[in-house]
Amino acid sequence: MRILITGGAGFIGSALIRHMTSHTQNEILNLDKLTYAGNLESLAMVEQHERYSFLQADITDSQSVSQALAEFQPDAIMHLAAESHVDRSIDGPAAFIQTNIVGTYVLLEATRAYWSALSEDRKQAFRFHHISTDEVYGDLHGVDDLFTETTPYAPSSPYSASKAASDHLVRAWQRTYGLPVLITNCSNNYGPFHFPEKLIPLVILNALEGKPLPVYGDGLQVRDWLFVEDHARALLKVVSEGEVGETYNIGGHNEQRNIDVVRAICALLEELAPNKPAGLAHYEDLITFVKDRPGHDQRYAIDASKIQRELGWIPQETFASGLRKTVQWYLENLEWCRHVQDGSYQRERMGANT
């Protein structure tokens, strides 16, 4: 297959591209605007790969997107490009509306024009796979409740509302125009190459530097965590075997309270990085409770039985095994982290694209 991936320089997109280049014969075009979250250093190991190419473009730019489709002639689009950080969406929602809603609309329209002109065989085989989040469902309060594919949408943050809107657009383009779409809604991802503003890498890196480990509110918010490489495997299953028009929830069966995630990282660091910053007795001593995020969802938990039953996907990592791999990866890749923290990853990529 020839697959156009939007947002391939981000956390999940880069994991998907690394996975696809080593496990499939697919040809990949990575279309990414390279916002602060796009990092070509996460793709260093595939940049010379013969079946991989990169195009710096904005999904809200209809002309660039149409041209990319006409030239690359994809059999499928996997749409991951988005603004993805909840805190940033609270501070400045405009970029979320623009990329997540308008960008998805522009991409759908360009795709519809491209798809309509394909031969009947290619039209039938074509897939538009929209990658979304479990945050569209709002939050859960009962301890046994789980999000299923039919849970009503009730997003809480500007981020989740913009993702919910994009899901609705994708579904409407299937119902109205017959575009062959697939939607996946996934729980919190973690793993290598995660941008250090997100909880797990932030805690690892702050701990190593002896900085406070911020925990929102009482830290009792529950999230389901999925190792990013398990997500990449699930996405590949869905785009190649999923049934058109269907939604699949993807989750790790790993519900954890935020405070327990932070403590688990501290325990791993005690073992794997015992030489602590001067004067620090235990990494846990750095835990600092901070004012809760407005509108903070209490609990997310996902029922991923449909993708298991229908497509035979289950996660390979437990939270313990995935978190150990993640902490180890950060300890071995402090250079990658340093480039993100000092901004040099952005300077280098400007050189790469001019």
Least separation in angstroms between CB 130 and ligand NAD: 8
Name the catalytic one among 135, 139, 167, 255. 135
Least separation in angstroms between CB 244 and ligand NAD: 20
Least separation in angstroms between CB 305 and ligand NAD: 18
Alpha-carbon gap, residue 301 to 161, rounded angstroms: 18
Residue 286 or 315: the one with the smaller Cβ distance to ligand NAD is: 315
194 CB burial (10 A radius; 0-12, 13-18, 19+): buried
Catalytic, 134? Answer yes
* Window of 10-18, 70-78, 109-117, 298-306 that interacts with ligand NAD by CB under 6 A: 10-18
Task: Kindly state the tokens that stand for 17.
Answer: 């591209």
Let me know: does 281 contact 275? Beta carbons within 8 Å.
no
Q: Does 251 bind ligand NAD (CB under 6 A)?
A: no
Residue 124 has a CB neighbour count (10 Å cut-off) of: 10
Task: Kindly state the tokens that stand for 71.
Answer: 């030239």
Residue 208 or 250: the one with the smaller Cβ distance to ligand NAD is: 250
Query: Total residues contacting ligand NAD (rule CB under 6 A)?
Result: 31
Let me know: does 38 contact 12? Beta carbons within 8 Å.
no
Residue 83 or 149: the one with the smaller Cβ distance to ligand NAD is: 83
- The b/e string for 323-343 (b: 16+ C-beta within 10 A; e otherwise) is bbbbbebbeeeeebbebbeee
Alpha-carbon gap, residue 325 to 76, rounded angstroms: 31
Name the residue with the smallest CB distance to ligand NAD.
10
Alpha-carbon gap, residue 13 to 38, rounded angstroms: 9
Q: Does 248 bind ligand NAD (CB under 6 A)?
A: no
Q: Does 317 bind ligand NAD (CB under 6 A)?
A: no
Residue 10 or 219: the one with the smaller Cβ distance to ligand NAD is: 10
Alpha-carbon gap, residue 140 to 127, rounded angstroms: 32
Residue 26 or 60: the one with the smaller Cβ distance to ligand NAD is: 60
Q: Does 115 bind ligand NAD (CB under 6 A)?
A: no
Alpha-carbon gap, residue 39 to 8, rounded angstroms: 9
Least separation in angstroms between CB 159 and ligand NAD: 8
Catalytic, 330? Answer no
Binding residues for ligand NAD restricted to 20-59, rule: CB under 6 A: 32-35, 37-38, 58-59
**Among 4, 7, 253, 304, interactor with ligand NAD by CB under 6 A:** 7
Alpha-carbon gap, residue 245 to 241, rounded angstroms: 12
Q: Does 131 bind ligand NAD (CB under 6 A)?
A: yes
3-class state of residue 29 by DSSP: strand
Least separation in angstroms between CB 42 and ligand NAD: 9
Task: Kindly state the tokens that stand for 29.
Answer: 């075009």
Compute the C-alpha angle 261/265/270, nearest 5°: 150
Alpha-carbon gap, residue 11 to 18, rounded angstroms: 11
Name the catalytic one among 105, 114, 159, 283. 159
**Among 4, 146, 164, 186, interactor with ligand NAD by CB under 6 A:** 186
Compute the C-alpha angle 59/65/67, nearest 5°: 165
Q: Does 268 bind ligand NAD (CB under 6 A)?
A: no
Name the catalytic one among 32, 58, 134, 229. 134
Catalytic, 121? Answer no
**Among 52, 195, 319, 330, interactor with ligand NAD by CB under 6 A:** 195
Alpha-carbon gap, residue 59 to 65, rounded angstroms: 6
**Among 163, 223, 233, 263, interactor with ligand NAD by CB under 6 A:** 163
Binding residues for ligand NAD restricted to 72-91, rule: CB under 6 A: 80-84
Name the pairing type of β-strands 188-190 and 222-227: parallel
Which residues form the interface with ligand NAD (CB under 6 A)?
6-7, 9-13, 32-35, 37-38, 58-60, 80-84, 99, 103, 131-133, 163, 186, 188-189, 195
Active site residues: 134-135, 159
